[in-house]
Amino acid sequence: MKPRIAILFSLFAVVLLVLIQFYSISEMYRIKREQFDNQYGNLVYTSMVNYNRSPNQAFDSLFYAFDNYARQMIIQYEQLQSDDDENAFRQTVLENFSKILNNQKKPEEFVRQFLKNRGVETDFRSGYYIQELYLINFDEMIPLFSDTIPHDQSDLSEALQAYSYTSEGNYYRIRYDYFIDFTHKSLIIYGEMVVTLILAFATILIVCIVFYLTVKNLLLQKKLSDLKTDFINNMTHELKTPLSTIAVATSSLSDEKFLKQQERVKEISTLIKKQNRHLTQLIDRILDISIWEKDQVKLEKKSVHILDFFKERLDSFRIEYRDLELNIHEDYDLDKDYVKIDEVHMTTVLNNLLTNAVKYSTRTPEIHVKVSVKNSMTIQIQDNGIGISREEQKYIFDKFYRSGKGDFKTVKGLGLGLYYVKQIITAHSGDIHVVSQPGRGTTFTINIPLNNEHSAGRR
């Protein structure tokens, strides 16, 4: 399966899982709420039945107050002129009925005590709400408010209907409910679901992390395989050039006329030798891949006279590039003469950095090599080359990375030099970083700690 399709499928699965989790949680909340409503609904209803049964209930005075007020309102109703008046009238009557109702002593304390005795939640607010109201004028029923006349009860959506009362006097008919709204209802329900919630969120989190890591890995693999393809193309080109040069050179050597010109033969044999050396270097570098595939490069450290080491390497580098105009400046600040390093690998590190300083330059290379040995060894290689953009600096130490895709024909390379450098420096427990300004130049700084090196002092 292509990575993109695999990612899309996994993403779909993750989204589905998250949706299922949310659905299950909301379903669970719904069921818990129903259980809550059932349990508390029954308790509250029982308490209300007990309350209504208890003596000293002032229902008579309440109904008398209703009747009295209704009678006065019927007189007013007969004098109403317009529809607007009638609407305002309905509103006022309703509000006043509500006031009379809510002014009477509420059963709150009784219900709270009842719930407390049963050891359940007692924190609630309550109120009376009129559900149906008529004024009665002889045989005529004047609806002020009923199920057929819609009214807003949105603030009661979570409340429990504790008890329903109906009463009919001479001048009115009313149905009203007593509602109880538990303040911490949601909290209590979520509290009961806490383990499920934690598990659900942990599952989502784990799945998301696994998904992220898988995608990251997949993309990395893809990048690596792209880089490998680049590398193979690049390597093929690199190997072909010296091979074809050698092929042309050898065919000229088989030419009788040519063999008589001693100078030309010498020239050709030097060319073949040079190309041969180049081929060997290339093949060595490719063979080194076996080292990189392992987690850790194996070092063979030994005490190295640091000044001699650098002077010799820089001199042979100068000889190798004697055909080119280039200047290498050296600067040493050494507290110790000997340092324990892997001589062979460090030679390659130095060569790779110096070669890059020459390769990636459009003017006469001015290379400054600064070596300081104190508690640690610091090697700084500064050039005046083309520089590396900030974006590219992130990748230059990656395996097979080469900047300016397709440019390998102009500047040779396999994209392995800096990767190799980094591996070797890391194996020495050191680090390397780059500072560069495009167009101005690049400075690579290597730092290798020299702690506990008994044999590294002056000898």
Of 21 and 352, which has the nearer Cβ to ligand ADP? Answer: 352
Contact between residue 459 and residue 337 where contact means Cβ atoms under 8 Å apart: yes
Closest separation between CB of residue 316 and ligand ADP, Å? 19
Residue of 107, 242, 417, 430 that binds ligand ADP (CB under 6 A): 417
Sheet containing strand 376-382, edge to edge, reads 327-334, 366-373, 376-382, 441-449, 431-437
Number of Cβ within 10 Å of residue 118's Cβ equals: 11
Residue number closest to ligand ADP, CB atom: 413
Q: Does 418 bind ligand ADP (CB under 6 A)?
A: yes
Distance separating alpha carbons of residues 370 and 382, to the nearest angstrom: 8
Of 163 and 360, which has the nearer Cβ to ligand ADP? Answer: 360
Of 192 and 392, which has the nearer Cβ to ligand ADP? Answer: 392
Contact between residue 132 and residue 174 where contact means Cβ atoms under 8 Å apart: yes
Distance separating alpha carbons of residues 193 and 191, to the nearest angstrom: 5
Q: Does 383 bind ligand ADP (CB under 6 A)?
A: yes
- The span of 21-29, 255-263, 354-362, 423-431 binding ligand ADP (CB under 6 A) equals 354-362
Closest separation between CB of residue 383 and ligand ADP, Å? 5
Q: Does 432 bind ligand ADP (CB under 6 A)?
A: no
Q: Does 419 bind ligand ADP (CB under 6 A)?
A: yes
Q: Does 345 bind ligand ADP (CB under 6 A)?
A: no
Of 379 and 416, which has the nearer Cβ to ligand ADP? Answer: 416
Three-state SS at 411: coil
Residues 6+ apart with CB under 8 A from 425: 349, 431, 432, 446, 448
Closest separation between CB of residue 365 and ligand ADP, Å? 9
Pairing label, strands 327-334, 366-373 = parallel
Of 265 and 297, which has the nearer Cβ to ligand ADP? Answer: 297
Of 137 and 241, which has the nearer Cβ to ligand ADP? Answer: 241
Q: Does 356 bind ligand ADP (CB under 6 A)?
A: yes
Residue of 413, 423, 430, 456 that binds ligand ADP (CB under 6 A): 413
- The span of 75-83, 369-377, 412-420, 424-432 binding ligand ADP (CB under 6 A) equals 412-420
Q: Which residues pair with 178 in a beta bridge?
A: 128, 163
Q: Does 430 bind ligand ADP (CB under 6 A)?
A: no
* Nearest one of 200, 65, 38 to 120, comparing CA atoms: 38
Closest separation between CB of residue 320 and ligand ADP, Å? 16
Q: Does 414 bind ligand ADP (CB under 6 A)?
A: yes
* Nearest one of 426, 276, 414 to 345, comparing CA atoms: 426
Closest separation between CB of residue 286 and ligand ADP, Å? 12
Residues 6+ apart with CB under 8 A from 192: 32
Q: Does 442 bind ligand ADP (CB under 6 A)?
A: yes
Of 107 and 413, which has the nearer Cβ to ligand ADP? Answer: 413
* Nearest one of 25, 37, 34, 28 to 121, comparing CA atoms: 37
Closest separation between CB of residue 401 and ligand ADP, Å? 6
The burial class, CB within 10 Å (0-12 / 13-18 / 19+), for 67 is middle
Distance separating alpha carbons of residues 71 and 318, to the nearest angstrom: 119
* Nearest one of 426, 339, 422, 425 to 374, comparing CA atoms: 339
Q: CA dist 389 to 12, 392, 404, 409, 458, Å? A: 38, 5, 11, 21, 41
State both tokens at 30. 């719904």
- The span of 60-68, 163-171, 178-186, 417-425 binding ligand ADP (CB under 6 A) equals 417-425
- The span of 17-25, 152-160, 257-265, 350-358 binding ligand ADP (CB under 6 A) equals 350-358
Closest separation between CB of residue 352 and ligand ADP, Å? 6
Q: Which residues bind ligand ADP (CB under 6 A)?
A: 352, 356-357, 360, 383, 385-388, 396, 401-403, 413-419, 442
